Chain A
Amino acid sequence: MRELRADLAIAGGGPSAIAAACAAAERGEQVLVIDRQPAPGGQIWRGQTNEWHERFRRCGAQWLGRAEIYDAAPGMTLMAQAPDGPAAIRAGRVLVATGARELFLPFPGWTLPGVYGAGGLQALVKSGLNVRGLRVVVAGSGPLLAAVAAQLIESGAHVLRVCEQAERTQMTPFFRYVAMHPEKWLQAAELGLLLAGRYQTGVWPVAARGAGKLEAVELSSGETIRAEALACGFGLVPNVELAQLLGCDLAGDGFVKVDEKQRTTAPGVFAAGEVCGIGGVEIAIGEGLIAGGASASLDRSFRGVLAAAFRLRGELRRLPQPSTYVCRCEDVTWSRIEPFDNWREAKLQTRCGMGSCQGRVCGASLGFLKGWPPPEPRSPLAPVPLESLASE
Chain B
Amino acid sequence: MSRPDAIVIGAGICGAACAAALARDGLRVRVLEGHLPGGGVTGAGMGHIVVLDDNPPEFALSRHARDLWDAMIPQLPPEAECSPCGTLWVAADQEEFDAARQKLARLTGAGVRAELLDPAQLAEAEPNLRPGLAGGLLLPGDSILYPPLVAQWFLNSSPLIEVRRERASTLRLDAPVRILATGSQLDLLPQLPIKPRKGHLVITDRYPGLLNAELVELGYIKNAHGGAAESVAFNVQPRATGQLLIGSSRQFGATTAAVEPHMVRRMLQRAFEFVPALAQCKAIRTWTGFRAATPDNLPYIGPWPDDPGLWIAMGHEGLGLTTAPAVAELLADQIAGRATAIDPTPYLPARILA
Residues from chain A with a CB closer than 8 A to the CB of B205 are: 356, 383
Knowing A348-B148, A379-B286, A390-B272 touch, does A385 contact B281 (C-beta < 8 A)? yes
Q: Which of B264, B282, B285 contacts A390 (CB 8 A)?
A: B264
By the criterion CB–CB under 8 Å, are B284 and A390 in contact? Answer: no
State the CA gap A386–B285 with chains docked (Å). 11
Residues from chain A with a CB closer than 8 A to the CB of B287 are: 378
Knowing A379-B259, A390-B272 touch, does A385 contact B282 (C-beta < 8 A)? yes
State the CA gap A191–B246 with chains docked (Å). 53
Cβ of A389 < 8 Å from any Cβ of B?
yes
Q: How large is the interface on B (under 10, 10 to 19, 20 to 34, 35 or more residues)?
A: 20 to 34
By the criterion CB–CB under 8 Å, are B241 and A330 in contact? Answer: yes
By the criterion CB–CB under 8 Å, are B284 and A358 in contact? Answer: yes
State the CA gap A358–B203 with chains docked (Å). 12
Cβ of A4 < 8 Å from any Cβ of B?
no
B264 CB to closest chain A CB (Å) equals 6
Interface pick from B35-43, B48-56, B316-324: B35-43
Q: Which residues of A342-392 are within 8 A (CB) of B? A: 344-345, 348-351, 354-356, 358, 378-380, 383-387, 389-392
Knowing A344-B36, A348-B43 touch, does A380 contact B285 (C-beta < 8 A)? yes
A73 CB to closest chain B CB (Å) equals 8
By the criterion CB–CB under 8 Å, are B279 and A345 in contact? Answer: no
By the criterion CB–CB under 8 Å, are B280 and A385 in contact? Answer: yes
- Across the interface, name the chain A residue whose C-beta is closest to B146: A351
Knowing A330-B241, A378-B286, A379-B286 touch, does A386 contact B281 (C-beta < 8 A)? yes
A279 CB to closest chain B CB (Å) equals 32
By the criterion CB–CB under 8 Å, are B259 and A390 in contact? Answer: no
By the criterion CB–CB under 8 Å, are A386 and B282 in contact? Answer: yes
Cβ of B129 < 8 Å from any Cβ of A?
no
- Across the interface, name the chain A residue whose C-beta is closest to B279: A387
- Across the interface, name the chain A residue whose C-beta is closest to B43: A348
By the criterion CB–CB under 8 Å, are A384 and B283 in contact? Answer: yes
Cβ of B158 < 8 Å from any Cβ of A?
no
- Across the interface, name the chain A residue whose C-beta is closest to B259: A379
Cβ of B301 < 8 Å from any Cβ of A?
no
State the CA gap A178–B302 with chains docked (Å). 74
Main SS class of interface, B: mixed
State the CA gap A390–B262 with chains docked (Å). 8
A33 CB to closest chain B CB (Å) equals 24
- Across the interface, name the chain B residue whose C-beta is closest to A355: B284
Knowing A345-B39, A355-B284, A380-B284 touch, does A390 contact B269 (C-beta < 8 A)? yes
By the criterion CB–CB under 8 Å, are A380 and B38 in contact? Answer: no
By the criterion CB–CB under 8 Å, are A344 and B39 in contact? Answer: yes
Against A, the Cβ 8 Å flags (1 = close, 0 = not) of B63-94 are 00000000000000001000000000000000
Cβ of B278 < 8 Å from any Cβ of A?
yes
Residues from chain B with a CB closer than 8 A to the CB of A356 are: 205-206, 282, 284
By the criterion CB–CB under 8 Å, are B265 and A392 in contact? Answer: yes
- Across the interface, name the chain A residue whose C-beta is closest to B246: A386
Residues from chain A with a CB closer than 8 A to the CB of B326 are: none
Interface centre among A336, A356, A358 (most CB of B within 10 A): A356
State the CA gap A344–B287 with chains docked (Å). 15
By the criterion CB–CB under 8 Å, are B285 and A358 in contact? Answer: yes
State the CA gap A30–B278 with chains docked (Å). 37
Q: How large is the interface on A (under 10, 10 to 19, 20 to 34, 35 or more residues)?
A: 20 to 34
- Across the interface, name the chain A residue whose C-beta is closest to B267: A390
Q: Which of A345, A351, A387, A391 contacts B280 (CB 8 A)?
A: A387
Interface centre among B38, B206, B284 (most CB of A within 10 A): B284
B250 CB to closest chain A CB (Å) equals 18
B80 CB to closest chain A CB (Å) equals 11
Cβ of B202 < 8 Å from any Cβ of A?
yes
A349 CB to closest chain B CB (Å) equals 6
Q: Which of A73, A344, A355, A383 contacts B282 (CB 8 A)?
A: A383
A52 CB to closest chain B CB (Å) equals 34
Q: Which residues of B261-278 are within 8 A (CB) of A? A: 261, 264-265, 268-269, 271-272, 278
Against B, the Cβ 8 Å flags (1 = close, 0 = not) of A233-269 are 0000000000000000000000000000000000000
Interface centre among B259, B271, B283, B287 (most CB of A within 10 A): B283
Knowing A349-B148, A386-B204 touch, does A380 contact B265 (C-beta < 8 A)? no
Knowing A348-B39, A389-B265 touch, does A354 contact B285 (C-beta < 8 A)? yes
Q: Which of A73, A344, A349, A383 contacts B283 (CB 8 A)?
A: A383
B320 CB to closest chain A CB (Å) equals 17
B283 CB to closest chain A CB (Å) equals 5
- Across the interface, name the chain A residue whose C-beta is closest to B281: A386
Residues from chain B with a CB closer than 8 A to the CB of A389 are: 202, 261, 264-265, 268, 283, 286
Q: Which of A351, A379, A390, A392 contacts B279 (CB 8 A)?
A: A390
B133 CB to closest chain A CB (Å) equals 20
Residues from chain A with a CB closer than 8 A to the CB of B279 are: 385-387, 390
A385 CB to closest chain B CB (Å) equals 6
By the criterion CB–CB under 8 Å, are B265 and A390 in contact? Answer: yes
By the criterion CB–CB under 8 Å, are A390 and B148 in contact? Answer: no
A378 CB to closest chain B CB (Å) equals 6
State the CA gap A373–B259 with chains docked (Å). 23
Residues from chain B with a CB closer than 8 A to the CB of A392 are: 265
Residues from chain A with a CB closer than 8 A to the CB of B139 are: none
Residues from chain B with a CB closer than 8 A to the CB of A354 are: 285
State the CA gap A384–B286 with chains docked (Å). 11
State the CA gap A383–B203 with chains docked (Å). 10
Q: Which of B206, B246, B283 contacts A380 (CB 8 A)?
A: B283
A173 CB to closest chain B CB (Å) equals 42
A372 CB to closest chain B CB (Å) equals 14
Q: Which of B38, B246, B284, B286 contacts A349 (CB 8 A)?
A: B38
A-B pairs with the 9 shortest C-beta distances?
Answer: A390-B268, A383-B282, A387-B279, A348-B148, A356-B205, A383-B284, A345-B36, A390-B265, A356-B284
Q: 18 A-B contacts, Cβ less than 8 Å apart?
A: A336-B79, A349-B38, A350-B79, A351-B79, A356-B205, A378-B285, A379-B286, A380-B284, A385-B280, A386-B272, A386-B282, A389-B261, A389-B286, A390-B268, A390-B269, A390-B279, A391-B265, A392-B265
13 additional A-B residue pairs with CB within 8 Å, beyond A378-B287, A389-B264, A389-B265: A349-B38, A351-B79, A351-B146, A355-B284, A380-B285, A380-B286, A385-B280, A386-B202, A386-B246, A386-B272, A386-B280, A387-B272, A389-B261
Binding site for A on B (CB under 8 A): 36, 38-39, 43, 79, 146, 148-149, 152, 202, 204-206, 241, 246, 259, 261, 264-265, 268-269, 271-272, 278-287
